[in-house]
Amino acid sequence: GYNANFDIQKKFRLRDDKDSFILGTNFTRENMQCNYPPYASDAQNGRNSYSLYQSYDYKATDKFNLIFGLREYYMTKSQFQDSDFELLPQFQGLYKVNSTSSYYFNIGKSFEMPDITSGFFYGGLIATNSDLKPQSGWSYEVGHKFDDGRRTLTTDLFYMNIKDKFYWAKTSTGLDIMENHNKWQNVGLEINYSQKLNKEWSANAGLTVQNAKAYSDDTSRWTQDSAKYIFNVGTTYNKKIGRASC
């Protein structure tokens, strides 16, 4: 199989270079062919997606910027999924307190089609789902970022509301199968800290406290969908000849 992507955009300067407007278009071609008997014999699936996108960056004051974005997205019909058209708006704001501190917010709509291979998963442990739907939803976040060039600290409050979110389940025979949650919500707090130790080494740590829940129309109940607490630590090593992280 193969994927091909074409993107072109033009940026316009407005209001004596205070504002900017981006106008662009994108085309993506996806194609997959699989011959893996007995699970998939000469199975093929292909689809095209087209989008137009616009973004306006408005400088309200010397410290406050607003960004308005919109994407018009269309995907053609494929062997396993119907065609779809979506309008995907986004609204962002950034307030710079000073050279090291800033506040931000972001509101946006997301949309994701099932993977092109979803109709012919190959392997004896995976079942296909002919009723798999695209997932879509809204996300909201507000936060603060501190960055003095040596240390970075971000604190982010978020809320997500997703319809038909993808997840892996088990069939009655024990096979893995991708399905859709009827409703899915998550609200939480994410804190990330990173610091340069010297010219080559830096360290980072992060904590997420969340409450991800999934709703089933069959049971009319909300259930916990993922861990409530996630903690991560890591180091990064930088050199001019390369970069490694762990």
Can you give the three-state secondary structure of 31-60, one letter per residue? EEEEEECCCEEEEEEEEEEEEEEEEEEEEC
Residues forming a β-bridge with 15? none
Structure tokens belonging to residue 181: 């949650």
Q: Residue type for 108, please?
A: G
Whole-number average pLDDT of the chain: 92
- pLDDT single digits (tens) 162-220: 999 999 999 988 889 999 999 999 999 999 999 999 989 999 999 999 999 999 998 99
What pLDDT is recorded for position 39?
Answer: 62
- pLDDT single digits (tens) 41-60: 667 788 999 999 999 999 99
- Look at residue 149 and tell me whether its pLDDT is greater than 80: yes
* 191 and 157 Cβ atoms separated by less than 8 Å: no
d(CA 150, CA 100): 11
Q: What is the radius of gyration, based on Cα positions, of the chain? A: 22
- pLDDT single digits (tens) 70-100: 999 999 998 888 899 999 999 999 999 999 9
- Phi first, then psi, for residue 212 (nearest 5°) are -85, 125
Half-sphere exposure of 104 (CA within 13 A, CB side): 16
Residue position matching structure tokens 């931000």: 104
The secondary structure of 64-117, three-state, reads: EEEEEEEEEEEECCCCCCCCEEEEEEEEEEEEECCCCEEEEEEEEEEEECCCCC
d(CA 232, CA 188): 16
C-alpha closest to that of 59 among 26, 21, 9 = 21
